[in-house]
């Protein structure tokens, strides 16, 4: 039974960032925080989470790097994917420099940036697009193209073997123009869910549409399809998170601007049966939010950052943003799909305030380590 097992404070306070996993580490790139200076161009920050010790590290900024042009500027709405031992950053924007279409490579071994030479048809600069890796290619879909002022429904690929960009000619009814959706690779298919569309099609008219249908792109046949689904479908949303666990697609959180609602729910989509279901998770999980990151390592999902209304409606799975300021988060939550007996015992000790004085010293230490480890400011308990 899946359960929220860990809650930490004191991590990077970031919104609209992007993150990848390499080994047992999570690399978080860029994003923003309310109140920071975005009129000055500076190098993108990189925060690293060791998922064993649960400690964050901010890597030094390359201020004296003679190849400063190889370092991306701080941005939001970009994408990050991992291939082999490198992370690849593409797209995104900030308020001073605008949108970008340069590919950047971050080598997690040497912790250095580079700008790979690319050929082919490079997609236009944008933010709010999606990216996923299938086989040896990165697939880019959608987003908002700043220079031509329109939403996109195009697909581009970058072949990591040759660093060649290609425009993909598709068949079938393409997913609607949109931004801040998710694209998730399952086998040879790319699953698109959510995002913000507009009644004006690819033209922004400020009349938003939030679709809750899933569209699937078959990369082997270059064909779009919209499967007929069953079950309980999530409400349409943008700026949510998506990840794959044991062949199923999971959706967490997000925001619907038409209803002014933030979400904290989790839904599962079975691509074999085309069936949606709501996932019930034990433990006190994160509050309703959007623009967070979720990264899967093994059977654990690490969720961090994002933003939500400063006040949440008690007893609700959603938060209303009406006339309320937003609050940026610096927390970390862990969703464990297969918690160990040791973890469950630790949680029981914390939740029910059990007396462990009668246990052997070594076991007592293991059961109480979550409360004495300074890297964990407050484990989950009944007070959340």
Mean pLDDT, rounded, of the chain: 88
Q: Which residue has the higher pLDDT, 322 or 212?
A: 212
- The tens digit of pLDDT for each residue in 69-94 reads 789 999 999 999 999 999 999 999 99
CB 301 within 8 A of CB 295: yes
Q: 3-class secondary structure for 158-216?
A: EECCCCEEEECCCECCCCCCEECCEEEEECCEEEEECCEEECCCCCCCCCEECCCCEEE
CA–CA separation, 89 vs 19, rounded Å?
10
- The tens digit of pLDDT for each residue in 13-59 reads 999 999 999 999 999 999 999 888 777 889 999 999 999 999 999 99
In the Cβ-directed half-sphere of 186, how many Cα atoms lie within 13 Å?
A: 21
Sign of CA dihedral 110, 111, 116, 122: positive
The reported pLDDT for the residue numbered 133 is 98
DSSP structure class, residue 68: G
pTM of the model: 0.88
- The tens digit of pLDDT for each residue in 141-190 reads 999 998 888 999 999 999 999 999 999 999 999 999 999 999 999 999 99
Range scoring the smallest mean pLDDT among 214-223, 344-353, 364-373:
364-373
Mean pLDDT of 136-140: 98
CB 97 within 8 A of CB 78: no
- The tens digit of pLDDT for each residue in 152-162 reads 999 999 999 99
């Amino acid at each position: 039974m899946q359960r929220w097992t860990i809650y930490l404070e004191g991590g990077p306070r970031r919104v609209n960032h992007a993150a990848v996993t390499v080994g047992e580490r999570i690399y978080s790139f860029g994003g923003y925080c309310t109140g920071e200076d975005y009129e000055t161009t500076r190098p993108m920050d990189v925060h690293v989470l060791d998922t064993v010790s649960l400690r964050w590290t901010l890597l030094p900024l390359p201020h004296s790097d003679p190849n400063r042009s190889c370092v991306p500027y701080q941005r939001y709405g970009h994408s990050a994917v991992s291939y082999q031992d490198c992370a690849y950053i593409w797209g995104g924007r900030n308020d001073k420099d605008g949108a970008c279409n340069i590919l950047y490579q971050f080598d997690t071994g040497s912790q250095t940036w580079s700008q790979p030479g690319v050929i082919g048809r490079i997609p236009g600069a944008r933010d709010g697009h999606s990216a996923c890796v299938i086989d040896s290619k990165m697939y880019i879909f959608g987003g908002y193209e700043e220079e031509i002022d329109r939403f996109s429904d195009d697909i581009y690929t970058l072949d990591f073997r040759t660093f060649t960009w290609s425009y993909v000619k598709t068949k079938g009814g393409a997913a609607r123009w949109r931004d801040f959706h998710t694209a998730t690779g399952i086998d040879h298919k790319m699953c698109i869910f959510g995002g913000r569309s507009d009644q004006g099609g690819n033209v922004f008219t400020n009349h938003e549409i939030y679709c809750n249908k899933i569209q699937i792109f078959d990369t082997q046949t270059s064909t779009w399809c919209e499967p007929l689904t069953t079950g309980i479908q999530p409400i349409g949303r943008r700026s949510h998170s998506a990840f794959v666990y044991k062949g199923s697609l999971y959706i967490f959180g997000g925001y619907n601007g038409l209803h002014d609602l933030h979400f904290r729910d989790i839904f599962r989509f079975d691509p074999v049966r085309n069936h949606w279901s709501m996932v019930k998770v034990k433990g006190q999980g994160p509050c309703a939010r959007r623009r967070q990151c979720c990264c899967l390592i093994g059977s654990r999902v690490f969720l961090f950052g994002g933003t939500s209304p400063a006040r949440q409606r008690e007893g609700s799975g959603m938060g209303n943003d009406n006339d309320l300021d937003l609050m940026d988060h610096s927390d970390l939550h862990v969703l464990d799909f297969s918690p160990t007996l040791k973890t469950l015992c630790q949680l029981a000790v914390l939740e029910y305030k059990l007396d462990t004085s009668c246990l052997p010293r070594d076991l007592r230490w293991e059961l109480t380590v979550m409360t004495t480890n300074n890297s964990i400011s407050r484990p989950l308990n009944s007070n959340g």
